[in-house]
């Protein structure tokens, strides 16, 4: 499989992408630049949590390619909104905790110490609109501390930005999103007992304007170099293959 497939006679243009923000670091560090250099196509990417992307799609928004959580992709496939041919597995994301650079790292190795760290923190940042924040909200309820932590919530985006502004002492999100923000340090992943793994895949919209370009981009996302980029960006690479059916 080529790492940088050729586009053929399509020529230069713009390929539109709707993408979950979990893969942003991997895209920004290498995937986008290498694809654009190899193909002459410019990637116009809308970055949002999958929940927001799904609302936009329900409102009629479309692009050439979408990268999102598997469960949402399954729903889109079932409704005929995305093309199952060429759909590729991207990577998996795990949840973690970050602190401002230079700050002490709390012990989060066990559920008990993780719970204690959340209770002691002068502000815990999480997103109310993203999959990580939705899971975390349910988790702190299960742990019996939902009304005892100092919550610093955002509707979407990077929770670690609240560490840089000093509004929070801890930020909770997928590790690949936490490391997107300069000036923070990742403490580590959630304890295994309360961890949540999210799988991401990519596909072409059935209404894609540039099907040739979309196919080339999906091939790039399944390449060995892309897998290396996922791993370097705090994601867990999946053994990607091009699927002809699901």
User: Which of 179, 194, 209 is where one domain is finished?
Assistant: 194
Average pLDDT over the chain, rounded to whole? 91
How confident is the model over 125-134, as a mean pLDDT? 90
What pLDDT, on a 0 to 100 scale, did the predictor assign at position 130? Answer: 81
Bridging pattern class, strands 65-69 and 13-19: parallel
Q: Do residue 145 and residue 189 come from a single domain?
A: yes
Q: Taking 50 as the threshold, does the pLDDT of residue 41 lie above it?
A: yes
Say how many domains are in the chain: 2
pTM value? 0.77
pLDDT at 108: 98
Q: Are both 17 and 134 inside the same structural domain?
A: no
Pair 104, 184 in one domain: yes
Range of the domain at 153: 93-194
78 and 162 both lie in a single domain = no
pLDDT at 218 over 90: yes
Say what the pLDDT of residue 194 is: 97
Q: Are residues 183 and 205 in the same domain?
A: no
Q: Do 121 and 28 share a structural domain? A: no
**pLDDT, tens digit, 9 for 90 and up, residues 148-186:** 999 999 998 899 999 999 999 999 999 999 998 999 999
């Amino acid at each position: 499989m080529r790492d940088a497939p050729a586009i053929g006679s399509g020529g230069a243009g713009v390929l539109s992408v709707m993408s979950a923000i979990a893969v942003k670091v991997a895209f920004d560090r290498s995937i986008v630049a290498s694809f654009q250099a190899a193909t002459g196509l410019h990637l116009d990417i809308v970055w949002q949590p999958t929940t927001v992307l799904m609302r936009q799609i329900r409102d009629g928004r479309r692009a050439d390619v979408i990268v999102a959580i598997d469960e949402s992709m399954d729903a889109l496939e079932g409704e005929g909104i995305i093309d199952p041919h060429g759909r590729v597995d991207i990577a998996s994301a795990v949840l973690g905790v970050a602190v401002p650079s230079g700050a002490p790292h709390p012990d989060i190795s066990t559920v008990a110490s993780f719970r204690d760290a959340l209770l002691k923190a002068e502000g815990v940042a999480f997103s109310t609109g993203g999959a990580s924040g939705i899971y975390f909200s349910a988790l702190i309820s299960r742990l019996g501390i939902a009304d005892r932590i100092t919550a610093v919530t955002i509707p979407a985006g990077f929770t670690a930005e609240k560490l840089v502004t000093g509004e929070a002492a801890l930020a909770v999100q997928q590790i690949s999103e936490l490391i997107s923000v300069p000036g923070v340090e990742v403490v580590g992943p959630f304890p295994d007992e309360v961890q949540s793994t999210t799988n991401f895949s990519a596909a072409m919209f059935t209404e894609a304007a540039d099907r040739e370009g979309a196919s080339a981009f999906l091939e790039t996302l399944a390449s060995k170099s892309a897998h290396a980029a996922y791993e370097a960006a705090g994601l867990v690479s999946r053994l990607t293959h091009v699927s002809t059916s699901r």
